[in-house]
Structures are given as C-alpha cells and as structure tokens.
Amino acid sequence: MSEFNSCFICESSISDPVCKTCYMQQISVILNDLMFNYVAKDIVLIKLKNKIPNEHLNETPCLLCKKEKVAICRYCFSVSLADTLRELNFPEDSFDGFGYNLLFEEEIHKDKKVFE
C-alpha cells in the first residue's frame, strides 16, 4: 500500500482528494436543500462523522479547503453515508439525492470486505 493518496478504508488511490470536514459540509448543504429539520440533520451528521476515520495515510491536502489531509475516497464516503441513512431507516430511493452508488458498494463488499 502506498503511503500517499490512499483511502484509509479500501486502500485504493484517491482520485479526487476531499477531507472529512469538506465532505460533511457538502452533506449538510444537501440536507438543507432537502429541507431536513435541524434535529434530523444533526443526527445524520453526527452518526456519519463517527463512521469516518480521523486517521489518514496521506500527505495530500484537500482539494477544496487545502487545510486538512485526505483520509477516504469518495466511494467509501458514499458507502458510509448509505450505511448511516440505512441505520436511520431512510428509504433506499432517497440515497440517489446524495450521489450514492449502489453498484460500487456491492463491488467493494464483495472484493475488499472492508465494511463487515
């Protein structure tokens, strides 16, 4: 595994480096756009934040804020988000609004078995 630009979860190369804070800000905006009340929004964000590792293996700064180092790829973030939404009993058809990719989740579960 390379020490630079690798996802902490799946160990794949990160093609679009975005940090945990910027991912969380993007989801917050989406939740606002979907008109979630602030309590539901906070619950989603807290649960999601706890799923994303604080550790990172990279020296690559975030493409958006340029402050934090990146930890996970967008695919693993998407799977973490989907897991969070499932835990909170969101309907599967609502995942599309978050840019969720079901085919990738099935593939990563089958090949890497990193989310078991």
Q: Closest by alpha carbon to 73, among 21, 20, 26?
A: 20
Phi-psi region for residue 77, left (φ > 0), alpha (ψ -120 to 50) or beta?
Answer: alpha
Task: Note the pLDDT tens digit of each residue in 22-40.
Answer: 989 988 888 888 778 888 8
Q: What is the mean pLDDT of residues 47-67?
A: 84
Cα 70 from Cα 102, distance rounded (Å):
23
- Write down the pTM of the prediction: 0.75
Residue 107 has pLDDT above 70, yes or no: no
